[in-house]
Homo-oligomer: A and B are copies of this chain.
Amino acid sequence: MDLSQIEGFFKPKSIAVIGASTKPGKIGYAVVENLLEFHERGGKVYPINPKADEILGLKAYKSILDVPENVDLAVIVIRSEKVPAMIDDCAKKGVKNIVIISGGFKELGGKYRDLEAEIAERARKYNIRVIGPNCIGVYYPRTKVDTFFQPKNRMLRPGPGNVAFLTQSGTYGIILLEWSVMDGLGVSKFVSYGNKVDVDEADLILYLMDDDETKVIGIYLEGLGDGRKFFNAAKKVARKKPIIVLRGGWSELAARAALSHTGFLGGKGRIYEAAFKQSGIILAKNLEELYDMAKALSKQPAARGDKVAMVSNGAGPMVQAVDYLVDAGLQLSSLTEETKERLRNALSPFVVVDNPVDLTGSATPREYEIVLDYLLDDPEVDMLFTFFVHQNAPMSEDIVGVMDNIAKKAKKLRKPILVGAAGGPYTLSINKKMEELGIPTYPTPERLVAAAKALYLAQLKKL
């Protein structure tokens, strides 16, 4: 496979929007609007519309064939019946990459299914790579290629980073990206590929395998066209970087719903589960887990072992974290006697010196600092779970400075550190600061433990 042609989706010099519209609120208007930043940075954007001379300040052309310069990438947002003829025009123009946003293909069945087969055939014939149809396409923060039809004031875009998201559902893609923005999580490449008439997840992960910008790959998958192709690719890629997959439409009933979504039959019960795991893929249970795991793997190193130490100033979440720990294949560290001795000497007699360490509601940031420092020193500790009730009176924003120091020490020791804290605006603002320090935060112990499990599994893959 020619991976450089996949690269063409992320690094075109010029983009034509076929079906560009003059009307705000229309999909063909939003796509042009979102590409203005690409244009402002020196990329060429050509709106194609038979009736317009100008759209959003850009000169419009009646046909892509009228564009005076080269076009690298075409984004198609016209009615499905008209798409095949446009593929011909794109070929004549020498376009190498096409993103088809429009729906109205395989997912409707009947003649629309034939229409999609027609596109597949022409793309193959012309050696054009196609993403879509029935998708929101590509977002690449570094060049600002952005084929979405979601205006920027309604949908935030994350900055550059090391997480690649691939998704069959545009909706889930949007959610993952906006969650990323809110946590300061950066994205390397994003592709929503919908009906995947040509480029599929196997092509994309093989491309991402050698993409230095990408550290972790998160995928939402409804149906596998060519399962063998995907699992073979995954086996190769998962040895180099972690792949997290969330599957949708695995129930019989949902399989039918998936069919009329992206035209793929999901279902097959949970038969495929073993194949996923054997390929070295980390399975996520739901969308939040997919995101939570990707965030952990983006910001923290893989865990060297399964032994966890916990500390909190409010024990409820720790009690539940222990519940989830066992199911996740992790274990509570038995602290060394030396560590226990150090803790006992430093802390009030009301603190239960064991793992988990319950600092109780009177804990101060300084006490956290002592405990976390000692726990990091303990050779029996591979990973730290730090729960906070920032709302408690004896706490303060000093905890941010404390965690900055602790995170630096943890990084040197390659021991992952995760934070659990939830609540209202005050706690969320501290969580945001923790995220900026590279410490991932989670609202519940269940979600924290799932993320920790991914850090542990990612390490196993490397053995």
Q: Are B171 and A443 in contact (CB under 8 A)?
A: no
Q: Are A323 and B248 in contact (CB under 8 A)?
A: yes
Q: Are B178 and A423 in contact (CB under 8 A)?
A: yes
Pick from B27, B318, B444: contact of A288, CB under 8 Å: B444
Pick from B25, B80, B320: contact of A393, CB under 8 Å: B25
Q: A127 contacts the other chain (Cβ, under 8 Å)?
A: no
Pick from B26, B172, B354, B426: contact of A155, CB under 8 Å: B426
A294 to B422, CA, bound (A): 18
Q: Are B319 and A257 in contact (CB under 8 A)?
A: yes
Q: Are A350 and B258 in contact (CB under 8 A)?
A: no
User: Which residues of chain B are near A314, meaning CB under 8 Å?
Assistant: 169-171, 174
User: Which residues of chain B are near A248, meaning CB under 8 Å?
Assistant: 316, 319-320, 323
Q: Give the size category of A's interface with B.
A: 35 or more
Q: From known contacts A254-B322, A423-B178, infer whether A358 and B261 are also in contact, taking CB-CB under 8 Å.
A: yes
Of A49-57, A102-110, A209-217, A407-415, the stretch lying at the interface with chain B is A102-110
User: Which residues of chain B are near A358, meaning CB under 8 Å?
Assistant: 107, 260-261
Q: A384 contacts the other chain (Cβ, under 8 Å)?
A: no
Q: Are A316 and B393 in contact (CB under 8 A)?
A: no
Q: A249 contacts the other chain (Cβ, under 8 Å)?
A: yes
Q: Are B424 and A316 in contact (CB under 8 A)?
A: no
Q: A425 contacts the other chain (Cβ, under 8 Å)?
A: yes
A286 to B107, CA, bound (A): 35
Q: A362 contacts the other chain (Cβ, under 8 Å)?
A: yes
Q: A182 contacts the other chain (Cβ, under 8 Å)?
A: yes
Copies in the complex: 2
User: Which residues of chain B are near A80, meaning CB under 8 Å?
Assistant: 350
From A174, A178, A320, residue with most partner B Cβ within 10 Å: A320
Q: Smallest CB–CB gap between A30 and chain B, Å?
A: 4
Pick from B174, B262, B422: contact of A389, CB under 8 Å: B174
User: Which residues of chain B are near A167, meaning CB under 8 Å?
Assistant: 316
Q: Smallest CB–CB gap between A58 and chain B, Å?
A: 17
A323 to B427, CA, bound (A): 34
Mask, A311-343, CB within 8 Å of B = 1, is 010111111101101100000100000000000
Q: A306 contacts the other chain (Cβ, under 8 Å)?
A: no
| Residues 42-77 (chain A) with a chain B CB within 8 angstroms | none
Pick from B149, B179, B260, B323: contact of A392, CB under 8 Å: B149
Q: A4 contacts the other chain (Cβ, under 8 Å)?
A: no
Q: Are A316 and B172 in contact (CB under 8 A)?
A: yes
Q: A406 contacts the other chain (Cβ, under 8 Å)?
A: no
Mask, A287-319, CB within 8 Å of B = 1, is 110000000000000000000000010111111
Q: A405 contacts the other chain (Cβ, under 8 Å)?
A: no
Q: Are B356 and A257 in contact (CB under 8 A)?
A: yes
Q: A459 contacts the other chain (Cβ, under 8 Å)?
A: no
Pick from B179, B261, B287, B315: contact of A315, CB under 8 Å: B261
User: Which residues of chain B are near A423, meaning CB under 8 Å?
Assistant: 155, 174-175, 178-179
Q: Are B149 and A27 in contact (CB under 8 A)?
A: no
Q: Are A178 and B315 in contact (CB under 8 A)?
A: no
Q: Are A352 and B315 in contact (CB under 8 A)?
A: no
Q: Smallest CB–CB gap between A350 and chain B, Å?
A: 5
A63 to B103, CA, bound (A): 76
Q: Smallest CB–CB gap between A339 and chain B, Å?
A: 17
Q: A390 contacts the other chain (Cβ, under 8 Å)?
A: yes
Q: A84 contacts the other chain (Cβ, under 8 Å)?
A: no
Q: Smallest CB–CB gap between A125 and chain B, Å?
A: 27
Sorted nearest first, the 9 A-B pairs with minimum C-beta distance are A169-B316, A171-B314, A30-B393, A178-B424, A254-B322, A261-B315, A155-B391, A150-B391, A178-B423
For this complex, 24 residue pairs linking A to B, each with C-beta atoms less than 8 Å apart, are: A27-B361, A27-B362, A103-B361, A107-B352, A149-B393, A150-B392, A151-B393, A154-B391, A154-B426, A155-B424, A167-B316, A170-B316, A171-B387, A172-B316, A174-B314, A248-B316, A249-B322, A254-B319, A254-B323, A257-B322, A260-B354, A260-B358, A286-B446, A287-B446
